[in-house]
Amino acid sequence: MFIGNTNSTDARKRRNSSSVYEVRTRRKSKENILHKRIQLSGRQLNFGIVIGVSLTIVTIVLQCVAFFTPNWKVVSPKTHSLYVDGVDALIRTEILVYFNSVHRFTRHSYGLFQRCEYHMNNSSKIINEQTEVFHVSDNKQHKKCTKNFLPSYANEKFDMCHSLYYYRFCSQSSETKFDINNEYLRAGFDISSNLKLNIGSKSPCNCKYPVYVKACHVLGVLTFISLFLTALLFGIFPCLKNDRHHLKIKCFGVLSSLFSMIFIFINLLVISNHLEYESIEYFTAIERHYRSTQIYKLSQDTKVAIERFLSSITIETGYSTVIAWIVLFLSIVDGILLMITCKISHYQDDIEASFIGIPMDSPTITTKADNDEYKTITTPLASSSNPTDCQDIDEPITLSLPGPPPPAPPPAPPPPPPPPVVQSTTINNTDEQSQVHSYSSYTGHKQYRLPRVHFDAEV
């Protein structure tokens, strides 16, 4: 009798100890899985950050090349002669002299800071008159680069400042001030060297960058700032641990990348709308002056001369423009990579929410409902000041509940239960076991069941 009871008690203890071990093993395995996910996410983040920063640096370098190289557009002649009929002789003379001295044997390339002239000799061949010019004798000695300056003066000073020599001075001297004592201008205007002028006085005729070029300078600087911010935010993202900071960094990074795309695209639009600006600015000033003085015949003839002039030259986009389009594409890829890579991970929060406050040596409560067994980790029970026989049982407590009981506030210590009342006890003379029914307390939230005691009846 006692041996059987002891064996069942040992079996229950082993089963309970194995259940605690299984719960602890499951908890450790879940924690290991989450830690592995965190490590994998960290590796992917670092790999994406390295690619993003490298791509942004490449974008900045290409933007520098496009921004400072003088090859946004290339202007070359289609023919060595220009025919202008049906216009006033004054306008025809202006356009022929300008074409012969500026574009007839010269190829021009323009940038945001510089312009370059490539001089050709008479051995240059023009093929198909619509494609390109093959320069037989082009070399470094025939190339001259200066600042991309153009004449700048008020329309009231047209008679004083407008001249081909003034235009050539601004495009070849890289000087902002129109100094009449310059030897080049003195020879052009046939001014005596004995004439003394007040050089310190402000001249109405100056050389400046075109207005659209200044706008492109501002857009280029804003593009550089946006790209540097994107690279910086890419770099500091893995150094922060707070999810709120991660969210802020990601938002600012996406905005900076978006602004860089917008600035580059606007820059390309501005340059594409001013491909003919430097080539026809000399005639545009003439047309603007005659229109303001209401000499509409000469103004209309100037427009016709401009159309004839544009038909005799070829204007193409240079490699700087191609590089700028590549920069725009890379900035778009960089922004998409930033949104994909810089994710806000919640694995660490899941670990903290799942395992915080649960000690490793917590006991278990085994509940049964409909032949299903539930094991829940709880904190150790507090000792009662009025111990009873039911509380001194070493075996695990078995509750007859439909499921895991909801947490309830700890009740007041119950009073000592009354002595057990034996409902029925049957002792047979044929060595049958007596049946002892369980008893229950009249108060309390849980129903306790005593272990069954087996004994042999004596006759």
pLDDT of residue 162: 86
pLDDT given for residue 253 in this prediction: 83
The answer on 420 and 319 residing in a single domain is no
The dihedral region occupied by 155, where left means phi > 0, alpha psi between -120 and 50, and beta the remainder, is alpha
Task: Tell me which range, 142-151, 283-292, 397-406, is most confidently predicted by mean pLDDT.
Answer: 283-292
Q: What mean pLDDT do residues 244-252 have?
A: 77
Give Cα 299 to chain centroid, integer Å: 51
Per the structure, the complete domain to which residue 407 belongs is given by 367-459
Examine the fold and report which residue of 295, 315, 347 is the final residue of a domain before the chain moves on: 347
Asked whether residue 48 is assigned to any structural domain, the reply reads: no
Residue 257 lies in a domain: yes
Q: What amino acid is encoded at 388 in this protein?
A: T
- 84 and 218 in a common domain: yes
DSSP structure string for 38-50:
HHHHHHHHHHHHH
Residue where one domain finishes, among candidates 347, 381, 402: 347
At residue 49, the pLDDT reads: 76
pLDDT of residue 303: 92
Q: Is residue 21 part of a domain?
A: no
**Average pLDDT over all residues of the chain:** 70
Shared domain for 325 and 408, answered yes or no, is no
Given this model, what pLDDT does residue 409 score? 62
Beta strands in 333-434 (DSSP E): 364-369, 372-377, 398-400
For residue 318, the domain's CATH number is 1.20.140.150
In this structure, the answer to whether residues 318 and 441 fall within a common structural domain is no
Residue with tokens 């990601």: 250
What is the rounded CA–CA span in Å between residue 258 and residue 222?
12
pLDDT of residue 200: 46
Give the per-residue pLDDT at 155: 85
CA atoms within 13 A on the CB side of 295: 12
Residue 38 has a pLDDT of 52
On whether both 253 and 137 belong to a single domain, the answer is yes
More confident residue, 450 or 332: 332
Residues 94 and 133 grouped into a single domain: yes
Question: What confidence category does residue 216 fall into, taking pLDDT thresholds of 50, 70 and 90?
Answer: very high
Residue 383 lies in a domain: yes
Same domain, 296 and 380: no
Q: Strand pairing partners for 368?
A: 373, 400
Q: 10-24, 258-272, 317-331: lowest mean pLDDT where?
A: 10-24
H helical segments located in 141-200? 158-161, 164-173, 183-189
Q: Identify the band that residue 10 occupies on the pLDDT scale cut at 50, 70 and 90.
A: low
CA–CA separation, 227 and 422 (whole Å): 88
Does a structural domain hold residue 166?
no
Position 139 pLDDT exceeds 60: no
Q: Which of 159-173, 254-268, 371-385 has the lowest mean pLDDT?
A: 371-385
Q: How confident is the model at residue 422 (pLDDT cuts 50, 70, 90)?
A: very low
Give the number of C-alpha atoms closer than 13 A to the C-alpha of residue 174, restricted to the C-beta side.
Answer: 8
Output the pLDDT for position 248.
Answer: 79
Interval 283-287 mean pLDDT: 92
Asked if the structure places residue 56 within a domain, the reply is no
Query: Domain for residue 130, yes or no?
Result: yes
Predicted pLDDT at 455: 46
pLDDT of 262 > 80? The answer is yes
Cα 431 to Cα 3, 51, 321, 422: the distances in Å are: 18, 85, 108, 20
Q: Kindly state whether residues 240 and 143 are assigned to the same domain.
A: yes
In a domain, 442, yes or no: yes
Split into its structural domains, the chain has a count of 2
* Residues 340 and 382 grouped into a single domain: no
Same-domain check for residues 429 and 338: no
- 177-190 pLDDT, tens digit each: 765 555 455 555 54
- For residue 9, name the pLDDT band (cuts at 50, 70, 90): low
**pLDDT confidence tier of residue 51, bands split at 50, 70 and 90:** confident
User: Sorting pLDDT into bands at 50, 70 and 90, what band is 26?
Assistant: low
Shared domain for 107 and 215, answered yes or no, is: yes
- In one letter, which amino acid is 240? L
Give the model confidence (pLDDT) of 27-48 as tens digits.
Answer: 555 555 555 555 544 455 566 6
Q: Is the pLDDT of residue 1 over 70?
A: no
Q: Is 227 exposed, middle or buried, given 0-12, 13-18 or 19+ CB atoms closer than 10 A?
A: buried
Phi and psi based region of residue 268 (left: phi greater than 0; alpha: psi -120 to 50; beta: remaining): alpha
Mark out the alpha helices in 273-383 (DSSP H runs).
277-292, 296-310, 319-341, 347-355
**Which domain-ending residue is among 287, 319, 347?**
347
Q: What is the pLDDT of residue 144?
A: 86
Three-class SS string for 71-93? CCEEEEECCCCCCCCCCCHHHHH
Total residue count of the chain as it appears in this document: 459
Contact between 438 and 449 under an 8 Å Cβ cutoff? The reply is: yes
Q: What is the pLDDT of residue 282?
A: 92
Indicate if 301 and 267 belong to the same structural domain. yes
β-bridge mates for residue 365, sequence order: 376
